[in-house]
């Protein structure tokens, strides 16, 4: 049976890996909409190859260019923030929410409001919107499937189990490229070093988040919303080999874990085929060749980001949205060479202490907090 799919953020790392899997089962899928920020040529090529009905750019100024590139293909072209949300609202069997940052929140919410199945990679959207998003999922009867490898692992471990029987959820963290670096070395870390992740190939923003451990902090908040076991039952452990993707302990002290190659196509495939399974091109896990799986506690002195995230979710209200916005500004300032590596988390902490708006009740409130927190963060830069 053919299923319809839209991919928000199709030209990114998660988007491309999703299309790689779809290419292998071409007859099973009908592609409705593909979206991108500004990569006209890549988006147009993908839309042609996958015979998409619609291709949408976030960058409105480049609509003409997209229309020209798609001329004669039969693919409809659109651009701008409203067009992204309209594309996301088209009814499909599965939406892949893989835009990076809070920029993906509006389109992700538009997909959720259709009451369909949304595979969520865009963790910043859930971190920022929190209860506003989970309430929309419940209200519209949508299904959220976690793409993030740790949350996908937890989701798999929970199948056939009751959430009330969970005593503890442990998120594993690779520790990133700077796991063994001293505080002095971290001061001098460059963007090039930060984006060179030892185990995963990912977009620039999440790679920097992995290097600061902010990624694990955001995932802690993400886990809190996806798996309501209480903050006291959520842990983080460093596991440099990235083979065990997360663990769930139950009240009888039985622990289930999901293991697999560190390739995002495994969790993406689990969402594409859910509740069944599909083939992936990956080799089987060779534990004898890997030899050793090691674990250790995170060092929050060198990597304070997880502590900040825990504080933000304990405070609640709009604190996670403020934290996320400040982090997005800080990461892009680091990538453009404006600030040093350790300034990223310092800036996030300053913005969190400086700006404490009330709890958002609806999407517009979250977007307003996001905008305001970005301006506060920009002031911190000067």
Smallest CA-to-CA distance from 270 within 152, 161, 108, 98 is with 152
Among residues 92 and 266, whose Cβ is nearest to ligand NAD? Answer: 266
Q: How far is the CB of 148 from ligand NAD (least distance, A)?
A: 5
Choose the one of ligand NAD, Mg ion, none that binds residue 271, judging by a C-beta under 5 to 8 angstroms depending on kind.
none
Question: Among residues 5, 6, 13, 238, which is the contact residue for ligand NAD, using CB under 6 A?
Answer: 13
Among residues 32 and 249, whose Cβ is nearest to ligand NAD? Answer: 32
Phi and psi based region of residue 80 (left: phi greater than 0; alpha: psi -120 to 50; beta: remaining): left
Q: Which stretch binds ligand NAD (CB under 6 A): 32-40, 308-316, 349-357, 374-382?
A: 32-40
Among residues 236 and 347, whose Cβ is nearest to Mg ion? Answer: 236
Among residues 150 and 380, whose Cβ is nearest to Mg ion? Answer: 150
Does 206 contact ligand NAD by CB under 6 A?
A: yes
Strand partners, 170: 235, 247
Residues 276 to 315: which contact ligand NAD by CB under 6 A? none
Q: Which stretch binds Mg ion (CB under 5 A): 34-42, 145-153, 322-330, 343-351?
A: 145-153
Does 124 contact Mg ion by CB under 5 A?
A: no
Among residues 78 and 100, whose Cβ is nearest to ligand NAD? Answer: 100
Smallest CA-to-CA distance from 216 within 335, 135, 308, 301 is with 308
Question: Among residues 148, 209, 222, 370, which is the contact residue for Mg ion, using CB under 5 A?
Answer: 148
Measured between alpha carbons, how far is 49 from 216 in angstroms, rounded to an integer? 35
Q: With contact defined as beta carbons under 8 Å apart, do 260 and 172 qualify?
A: no
Among residues 119 and 248, whose Cβ is nearest to ligand NAD? Answer: 119
Residues 234 to 263: which contact ligand NAD by CB under 6 A? none
Q: Could you give the dihedral angle defined by the CA atoms of residues 191, 196, 201 and 206, in that order, rounded to the nearest 10 degrees?
A: -40
Does 14 contact ligand NAD by CB under 6 A?
A: yes
Number of residues counted as binding Mg ion (CB under 5 A):
3
Choose the one of ligand NAD, Mg ion, none that binds residue 103, judging by a C-beta under 5 to 8 angstroms depending on kind.
ligand NAD
Residues 57 to 76: which contact ligand NAD by CB under 6 A? 58
Choose the one of Mg ion, ligand NAD, none that binds residue 224, judging by a C-beta under 5 to 8 angstroms depending on kind.
none
Q: How far is the CB of 329 from ligand NAD (least distance, A)?
A: 13
Does 126 contact ligand NAD by CB under 6 A?
A: no
Does 222 contact Mg ion by CB under 5 A?
A: no
Binding mask 98-117 for ligand NAD (x = CB under 6 A): xxx--x--------------
Question: Among residues 48, 67, 140, 200, which is the contact residue for ligand NAD, using CB under 6 A?
Answer: 200
Q: Which stretch binds ligand NAD (CB under 6 A): 36-44, 86-94, 226-234, 280-288?
A: 36-44
Site residues, ligand NAD (CB under 6 A): 9-15, 36-37, 39, 58, 98-100, 103, 121-124, 148, 200, 202-203, 205-206, 264
């Amino acid at each position: 049976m053919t299923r319809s799919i839209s991919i928000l953020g199709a030209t990114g790392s998660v988007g491309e890996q999703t299309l790689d899997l779809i290419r292998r089962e071409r007859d099973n899928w009908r592609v409705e909409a593909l979206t991108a920020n500004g990569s006209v040529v890549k988006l147009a090529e993908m839309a042609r190859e996958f015979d998409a009905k619609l291709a949408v750019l976030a960058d409105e100024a480049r609509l003409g260019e997209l229309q020209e590139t798609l001329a004669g293909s039969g693919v409809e072209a659109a651009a701008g923030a409203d067009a992204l949300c309209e594309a996301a609202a088209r009814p499909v069997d599965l939406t892949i929410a893989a835009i990076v940052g809070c920029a993906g929140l509006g389109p992700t919410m538009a997909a959720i409001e259709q009451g369909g199945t949304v595979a969520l990679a865009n963790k910043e959207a859930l971190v920022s919107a929190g209860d506003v998003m989970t309430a929309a999922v419940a209200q519209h009867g949508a299904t959220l499937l976690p793409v993030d490898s740790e949350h996908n692992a937890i989701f798999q471990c929970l199948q056939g189990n009751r959430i009330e029987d969970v005593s503890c959820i442990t998120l594993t963290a690779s520790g990133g490229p700077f796991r063994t670096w001293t505080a002095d070395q971290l001061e001098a870390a460059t963007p090039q070093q930060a984006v060179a992740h030892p185990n995963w190939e990912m977009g620039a923003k999440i790679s920097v988040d992995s290097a600061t451990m902010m990624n694990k902090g955001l995932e802690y908040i993400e886990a809190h919303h996806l798996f309501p076991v209480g903050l006291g039952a959520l842990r983080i452990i460093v596991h440099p080999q990235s083979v065990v993707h997360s663990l769930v302990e139950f009240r009888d002290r039985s622990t289930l874990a999901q293991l697999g190659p560190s390739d995002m196509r495994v969790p993406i495939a689990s969402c594409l085929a859910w509740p069944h399974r599909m083939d992936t091109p990956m080799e089987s896990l060779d534990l004898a060749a890997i030899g050793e799986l090691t674990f250790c506690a995170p060092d929050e002195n060198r990597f304070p980001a997880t502590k900040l995230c825990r504080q933000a979710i304990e405070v609640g209200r709009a604190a996670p949205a403020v934290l996320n916005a400040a982090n997005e500004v800080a990461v892009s300032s680091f990538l453009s060479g404006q600030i040093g590596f350790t300034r990223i988390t310092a800036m996030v902490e300053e913005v969190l202490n400086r700006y404490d708006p009330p709890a958002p009740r609806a999407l517009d409130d979250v977007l307003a907090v996001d905008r305001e927190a970005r301006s506060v963060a920009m002031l911190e830069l000067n």
